[in-house]
Amino acid sequence: MHLAVVGPFGFVVIDKPAGLTSHSCVSRLRRCFGLKRVGHGGTLDPAVTGVLPIALGAATRLLPYLPGDKTYRGSIQLGRTTNSDDLEGEVLTNQSWPALSANDLEAALHTFRGPIQQRPPQVSAVHVDGVRAHERARRGEHMHLPPRPVTIHRLEMQGWDPNNGRLDLEVHCSAGTYIRSLARDLGEQIGCGGCLASLRRIQALGFQIEQASPLPEWPDESDATSQRLPPVLPPQQALKHLAAHEASDTDRENWRCGRRLHIANGLGSVGETLMVVHHSGQMLGLGLIEADSQLRPKVVFDARG
């Protein structure tokens, strides 16, 4: 796949505010940067805040190669269940929560650490017979959503308010994990029900909350550059989990023409993806390691011809 690099090229990390969809954030940045090709990684529900990585220009082609793990901080409300598994939904049950010690809560949390099977919320983007579950749920339908394998890499209790039944957690999890489902299932495990009260994402696709910038305002109709735009991070910052081949000037010209490169032994195994970066720091693309230390182009930026 050969791609010309025109205009801004890289990633913007937004601290998404509550009340906006991920798509609306993309639309605003498309207007602010004057670009057509803009895409986001890791959708956030409107009520959720935090890290939303947004790719600009040709960097959208790198989104599938970013690490999928994410980290959240959130609060769970025990004693309440809703049809959406968060406080935004219709209340299904209300009951008191038991007296719980830190040891009781740790025992309940331990059940969810590591690889688990998790059933998505009724209000989710999962497709059911070609229609997203949340669309069918809004029509009043109740669906059987089969559980899916996910991994909770880290699950830590950050605080417990026994008077209000609020449990604060930090969760590091694999792609596809629903924190709303975790809240629901934890409440069920404890025996009183539970739902998600609030959620903030502090890491996604390799980007941290410390790198995030506020979402800019809509630009003035007469001057799209009338405000300070968030910084554009080099694309290789999102791919630190991949090994890199440092390309010489000759390598760069061969790469731009779509030719295979010879790479040093030990950079990876056959079938792995490798970054190609010019010694000046310019991101050239991604390649697939083949036998005999050959690197076949997969994504080529600034291609010739």
Tens of pLDDT, residue by residue over 230-250, are 999 998 988 989 999 999 999
What value does the mean pLDDT take over residues 84-98?
A: 94
**CA atoms of 176 and 153, how far apart (whole Å):** 13
* Per-residue pLDDT tens digits for 191-209: 999 999 999 999 999 999 9
**CA atoms of 80 and 85, how far apart (whole Å):** 9
195, β-bridge pairs: 77
Q: How distant, in Å, are the alpha carbons of 27, 74, 269, 295 from that of 265? A: 44, 44, 9, 11
Task: Write out the two tokens for 258.
Answer: 């779509």
Q: 3-class secondary structure for 99-124?
A: CCCHHHHHHHHHCCCEEEEECCCCCC
pLDDT at 45: 87
107, 113, 114, 115: CA torsion to nearest 10: 100
Instruction: Note whether 83 and 56 are within 8 A (CB).
Output: no
Type of residue numbered 218:
W
Which active-site residues does the annotation give? 45
Instruction: Note whether 209 and 15 are within 8 A (CB).
Output: yes
**Around Cβ 13, how many Cβ atoms within 10 Å?**
25
* Per-residue pLDDT tens digits for 238-291: 898 999 999 999 999 999 999 999 999 889 999 999 999 999 999 999 999 999
| pTM reported for the whole predicted model | 0.89
- Residue 154 pLDDT exceeds 50: yes
DSSP-derived letter for residue 17 is P
* Per-residue pLDDT tens digits for 290-301: 999 999 999 999
What value does the mean pLDDT take over residues 18-36?
A: 93
CATH number among 3.30.2350.10, 3.60.110.10, 3.30.565.10, 3.40.640.10, domain 2-65+209-234: 3.30.2350.10
Query: SS3 for 217?
Result: coil
Q: Write out the residue limits of the CATH 2.30.130.10 domain(s) in the chain.
A: 242-301
Strands 38-40 and 10-16, sheet pairing? unpaired
Using the CB atoms, write b or e for 87-103: b if 16+ within 10 Å: bebeeeeeeebeebeee
**CA atoms of 13 and 29, how far apart (whole Å):** 11
192, 196, 201, 206: CA torsion to nearest 10: 60
Whose CA is closest to 38, among 50, 52, 51? 52
What is the topology classification, in CATH, of domain 242-301? 2.30.130
pLDDT at 225: 52
- Residue 129 pLDDT exceeds 60: no
| Mean pLDDT score across all residues of the chain | 90
Return the higher-pLDDT residue of 302 and 87.
Answer: 87
- Residue 118 pLDDT exceeds 50: yes
* Per-residue pLDDT tens digits for 44-86: 988 899 999 999 999 999 999 999 999 999 999 999 999 889 9
What is the topology classification, in CATH, of domain 70-204? Pseudouridine synthase (3.30.2350)
Q: Is residue 2 very low, low, confident or very high in pLDDT (cuts 50, 70, 90)?
A: very low
Q: Write out the residue limits of the CATH 3.30.2350.10 domain(s) in the chain.
A: 2-65+209-234, 70-204
Strands 273-278 and 2-3, sheet pairing? unpaired
